[in-house]
Structure 1
Amino acid sequence: MAFIKTTEQDSNYDHLEKMSINEILQNINNEDKTVAFAVEKTLPQINLLVEQVVNKLKAGGRVFYIGAGTSGRLGILDASECPPTFGVSHDLVIGLIAGGDSAIRKAVEFAEDSTDQGWKDLKSYNISDKDIVIGIAASGTTPYVVSALKKCNDNKIITGCITCNQGSPLSKTAKYPIEVVVGPEFVTGSSRMKAGTAQKLVLNMISTTVMIQLGRVKGNKMVDMQLSNNKLVDRGTRMVMNELNISLDEAKELIQKHKNVRDAIKKDNKNE
């Protein structure tokens, strides 16, 4: 059966330029409402991939996100939020984008069409079979991503993917594919919309679940977050205050001493 990109099919809406602002907003919102249900259908696939990520990271490995354009940026966004949110090393979750870091802000022409740069980018991090690589591509056809995963497979590196088309080359390449089929975009082919939203939801689920499994959350609190601004210091102080049932001033003192919520709420600190 021929591969059909639903992400490239004509929008269910036409004459967008004739719509009022309210009509445009309402129709976009109506489409967005379908995304979470599409993600829900893929929970078994997400579960399988997350299990693999948890196992690799517990064994000392790393997880790589690799993508192009919007997909690459979303992977970098998720990776960059793990250290401040969960207090892990910047080397644990790594995001790579076709065209390099400059492509985060400005599109790099034809970077996604390279069939060897993806593997080169991974090799620059001394990738090995201790690690796991997740390819992200709404279309499921991006050469930069597909070729990188093929090389990973050749080198016995576990691969997963997040795509928004069923039966794509990327899905067939990845050992643990996630296919969130969101259908045609409001603006035909604009996969930064529903497809991008779906990818962001799945990335949130992967990284958050993995970090919880790695013990980076206590109760429902981010006890390992980096206290890098006043808002987070205040949040951390109140966590300590509530956890130890102490005054705000006492909690502030513990936070100032330990610079970390987890350390501040250890039982030993109750008597300090």
Structure 2
Amino acid sequence: MSGPEQNKNLATGPLLKVEGLEKRFGGLLALSDYSVEIAPGELMGLIGPNGAGKTTVFNLLSGVLCPSGGSICFCGKDITGQRPDQNAFSGISRTFQNIRLFNDLSVLDNIKTAFHMHSGKGLFKTLFNLAGYKASEKEMTEKALEYLEILNLLEHRHTPAGNLPYGLMRKVEIARALAARPKLLLLDEPAAGMNPHETEELTGIINLIHGKFGLTIFLVEHDMKVIMGICERIQVINQGSVLTQGSPQEVRNNPEVIKAYLGSSTD
């Protein structure tokens, strides 16, 4: 199927390069001198205590917030200060801590909303239901059904999204993010509110889409079993600044991380 952009065939060099990023809210410095590089096809985690600045990082990368300083380079292009729709079109897709589905639309129609950005069909064809629009609509439906099949959501395709259990709503949100054909997928606490069974299933889904599409994923998560189990590299921030980064084992055994965040045990 024609899915998210395959990243591992890109030219050598980071897919995402962030340098000296800063965000101020009035007199409050929420993020200071934040930098990160993510390679094509990498699955990287971001952890830190509540209020450390993790969601601020994601809001800056996706364009929800405009940085007070620093730069964001994506696919070799400076995207600092771009709007969310511009970043989405460039290939950055995300989910949110608080699920943002169209509750009254069916699961299928929620997925199809992500395709319209790339469909190339203008308002005139859409309003008058011309042949080009009809063909595009058929193609979008077929592709949406493929994503639903991958995430085991086919049986719910006609269900209003707001009627689904919480765990399934999370899966729909991920499916919609994938349908935007991203080069970089930002997952903001996807396991939040899930029970252990749902969390285990979610972990499998993230591994599946990472392997199937070679998709670059940046993951914020509080569940240490998830983050330590699937991420190739983990960055830790505390009080708006980078504390350390490294392999899961290096992060797990870092005394500063244990003191600031993980506590005495991460099992």
TM-score by length of 2: 0.27
Who wins on radius of gyration, i.e. which is larger? Answer: 1
TM-score by length of 1: 0.27
